[in-house]
Structure 1
């Protein structure tokens, strides 16, 4: 089942909330995003050892929590290969939810966002269930229907250690009343297989396939090895044809729109009935395309010009770290 959701274009999506101002994926970050006018927010979900879905950008959490300051968890530090990349740190799947609940969140890039870092160690990790409740409450508070763009992370990796993320997502959505089609819900992943699985379970949503500027999807690499088609192949007319009817949209790295024929890609996708999102619009020079950088890494560059170029492609949704700035550029 697919739910087609009418939206103002482009949809303003609070990327992990409003992490330009508060540590990502915290309750205050999400609430601030809605207060600043975001239409939806984007939680990333990963699993604990006891099957609780928690909201973290990655299952490795040393950069976004105070876990390293907890001596009782020192022996959990390890190295793992996640989607082909070796990472060292602490991983959500090695903790129960009760253990993770003792941690506090921190700003990922404190050198670039010291204001956000000023809120370090003040808020706990959220579960998906917590976030769904928060969004429902915010919809009532602001008097408008607010949405969730739910990203499922590392599904193939988690399947390999016994966690079916599609089943866990379905469980939490149904328990919270978010699997009836009554709320604006988008589900996205870099792995097409988990999207197919969740849709087969009858969860009504708009299903969006995330596409990197380079590399290949982890689920296809696990299945086909070096023969796996890469993301670039999906962005061709033939690749988009293959998506039609399988997913409802694509979400692309903004560099794909800025450095290639972004308007043409969006038009090709629209011709096939696909919506197009892009990520991530951030104003700091460190994140801008080189053409729009002016000054120090943490300073704001000519983000308005970059974002105007993105808007000019006809894109349907934009992920922003500063929803207030997104409102000014993309809507006003």
Structure 2
């Protein structure tokens, strides 16, 4: 696959600032190795830390033997909102960090402002958890104003990009995604960061529009996986329809001259995916259906009778990529070993390309790993399971890409196994 070099782009001041910064080692990755693109690539200490925790055996031996390998970018490694384990998500800095860890594909979750401009946010209604909006004059635009915790009632707020213009959006300061439910003031509500994350690298982070993310990712030598987020407002929005929204996403790649083969559009809405397949077949060929069957009461990846549709039916409609969460793809056998689930086997049988999410979003795994590890909780007792699970996903399930909140872990594995 090809992508335009930075010298072929008319770079904005934002991207030029980033490229200048890339000439020096940043706070995350030191002693990096120059590879394709402009981002220096280095694993940092985390892969070795996880390998040390593995039980003796073939997997540990193989990964240990790769500790001296030259890092290189891999499309198997996907930056989930950048590298939000330590950086504010969907910021320039978070994505530069992910690129420095070798993520070959970077993500901008896409939503829109009041003036229908596309911006990178995980949800249209997350500004109160990901920015400082509640402590600014724009707090008055929040559709649910801040209310303090009182007695058994948690603090609450909801602030949407659709209530502010792009110009107003640019005035906000990003922060680590969190909300202190015990807060009695807006300032206190900005705390509550999980104790296994950090605010060390959150100062001075930079928000992005979707178009700016395209420019940045191209300058870093990475490819693109934007997710069209569900609107929190009723659609059409001031005449802006769901199809307009889906089309505008594609149009910004076309305007930037990005080849369709370098873009994996995503949506939880199957109709969006089918729209792209029909209206923009080159981009639709790699459109990813983010499967949310797990939201259906009683649904199980091990029980065909609970499934709303066969996986073959998606392939029959032209869907070539499908992306469930980690736990949907695996289970444990009688020996307590991690193995592919029935759902994974059916996806393979249908010829679907599988991407999964999200590695390293669970924090320490000593107590079962929470939501992302629910199907293998009995086998999840240490951080070593990150690599044990990744190995099953890559070798037995056959996933083609893994989203991670700290892409170095996945990049190291991909480099070691030639993915």
**TM-score, scaled relative to structure 1:** 0.78
Check whether the contact 1:235–1:265 (CA below 8 A) recurs between aligned residues: no
Which residue of structure 1 lines up, in the alignment, with residue 390 of structure 2?
307
How many residue pairs get aligned? The number is 293
Q: 1:166-215 deviations in whole A, cap 9, x for unaligned?
A: 1321332222123x43x511011110111222333326220111112522
Shift >6 Å, 4+ stretches: 230-235
The reply on whether 1:149 has 2:225 as its aligned counterpart is yes
Q: How far is the alpha carbon of 1:256 from its aligned partner?
A: 0.7
Deviates more, 1:262-271 or 1:29-38: 262-271
Cα distance change, pair 114–9 in 1 and its aligned pair in 2 (3 A): closer
Q: 1:16-65 deviations in whole A, cap 9, x for unaligned?
A: 11112311111111112112111101210000000110001011211111
Which residue of structure 2 lines up, in the alignment, with residue 30 of structure 1?
95
Q: 1:143-177 deviations in whole A, cap 9, x for unaligned?
A: xxx31111110058552434331132133222212
Which residue of structure 2 lines up, in the alignment, with residue 133 of structure 1?
215
Match for residue 279 of structure 1 among 325, 338, 357: 357
1:63 aligned counterpart, secondary structure: helix
Check whether the contact 2:288–2:323 (CA below 8 A) recurs between aligned residues: yes
Written as runs of structure 1 = structure 2, the 5 A alignment for 1:1-332 is 11-60=76-125, 61-70=127-136, 72-79=137-144, 88-109=157-178, 110-115=193-198, 117-139=199-221, 146-155=222-231, 157=233, 159-162=235-238, 163-164=240-241, 165-178=245-258, 180-181=259-260, 183-202=261-280, 204-205=282-283, 206-212=286-292, 214-215=294-295, 239-244=310-315, 245-259=317-331, 262=340, 264-282=342-360, 284-285=363-364, 287=369, 289=373, 290=377, 291-294=379-382, 300=383, 302-311=385-394, 312-332=396-416
Q: How far is the alpha carbon of 1:10 from its aligned partner?
A: 7.5
**TM-score, scaled relative to structure 2:** 0.63
CA distance in 2, matches of 1:158, 1:135: 31
Cα distance change, pair 123–231 in 1 and its aligned pair in 2 (3 A): farther
Check whether the contact 2:226–2:265 (CA below 8 A) recurs between aligned residues: yes
CA distance in 2, matches of 1:234, 1:196: 25
CA distance in 1, matches of 2:175, 2:340: 35
2:265 aligned counterpart, secondary structure: strand
Q: 1:249-304 deviations in whole A, cap 9, x for unaligned?
A: 1100111113377354334323323101111011622645233244xxxxx56422
1:279 aligned counterpart, secondary structure: strand
Gaps of at least 5 residues in structure 1 are 1-7, 81-86, 140-145, 217-225, 295-299
RMSD over aligned CA atoms reads 3.1
Check whether the contact 2:74–2:411 (CA below 8 A) recurs between aligned residues: no
Q: How far is the alpha carbon of 1:322 from its aligned partner?
A: 1.0
Check whether the contact 1:170–1:201 (CA below 8 A) recurs between aligned residues: no
